[in-house]
Amino acid sequence: MAEKLGEILKSHILGLRRYAMALSGNSIEADDLVQECLARALSRAHVWAKVRDHRAYLFTILHNIYVDGVIRQRRQGIQVPIEDATPILRALPNQQERLEIRDLKRGLAALPDTHRSVVLLVGLEGMSYRQTADILGVPIGTIMSRLSRGREMLRRHMNNDQNERTERALQDGAMTAVNERA
């Protein structure tokens, strides 16, 4: 049973890490979340025989650990890490993609936690509405509503950032033209 449990856990580590990274925005914190999730799953090995959906069970544990951490941080106050967090993507082929990814990360960070979790689980992890509802402990209708609203908020955020970049580029171009004439 222990070997089978180990294989199950190994098969979900990458997905758990992606979700943890998307939630926390920090690779060190994401690694800590995944490690804590796996430790809790192993400590509850006696429950695994009753678990129908291992993936949903692990994501539920991870999500709950994250939420507990957010609540704990709010009680303790804001803590600033000494070292800078490393970026998720180190090098991108062009500036436009870099800006789009930056805007997407900002848009996701701007979403309320309830909406961000749904967008990440369904959009990034490819979970079904049922699995997402089970992980978050809410009805499917709530998942559909949060997903729709979350996507709309993200879409608006992305459009606003694109419009601001275009406006700045036009202003910079106009200023360059004025300076060249002078």
pLDDT for 150 equals: 93
Q: Do domains 1-88 and 92-182 have the same CATH topology?
A: no
Least confident of 2-6, 41-45, 167-171: 167-171
pTM of the model: 0.59
**Structure tokens, 22:** 């998307």
Most confident range, picked from 76-80, 81-85, 89-93, 134-138? 134-138
Mean pLDDT of 138-156: 93
**pLDDT of 89-145, one tens digit each?**
455 457 777 777 888 888 888 999 999 999 999 988 889 999 999 999 999 999 999
**pLDDT of 32-59, one tens digit each?**
999 999 999 989 888 878 888 889 999 9
> Would you list the domain boundaries of the chain?
1-88, 92-182
Looking up tokens 């509850």 gives 44
Q: Which CATH topology does 1-88 take? A: Rna Polymerase Sigma Factor; Chain: A (1.10.1740)
pLDDT for 20 equals: 92
pLDDT for 178 equals: 45
**Structure tokens, 155:** 């879409």
145-151: long-range pairs with CB below 8 Å, 24+: 146/114, 146/115, 146/118, 146/119, 147/115, 147/118, 147/119, 147/122, 149/115, 150/111, 150/115, 150/116, 150/118, 150/119, 151/119, 151/123
pLDDT for 1 equals: 58
pLDDT for 6 equals: 83
The single-letter DSSP state of residue 109 is H
d(C-alpha 11, C-alpha 127), whole Å: 15
Mean pLDDT of 12-19: 92
What percent of the chain clears pLDDT 90, i.e. is strictly above it?
38
Please give the angle made by the CA atoms of 153, 98 and 84, to the nearest 5 degrees. Answer: 90
d(C-alpha 9, C-alpha 32), whole Å: 15
DSSP string, 26-85: -HHHHHHHHHHHHHHHHHTGGGGGG-S-HHHHHHHHHHHHHHHHHHHHHHH-----SSPP
pLDDT for 40 equals: 92
d(C-alpha 48, C-alpha 54), whole Å: 8
Is the predicted pLDDT of residue 87 greater than 60, yes or no? no
CATH 3.30.428.10 assigned to domain 92-182? The reply is no
Q: Are 56 and 96 in contact (CB under 8 A)?
A: no
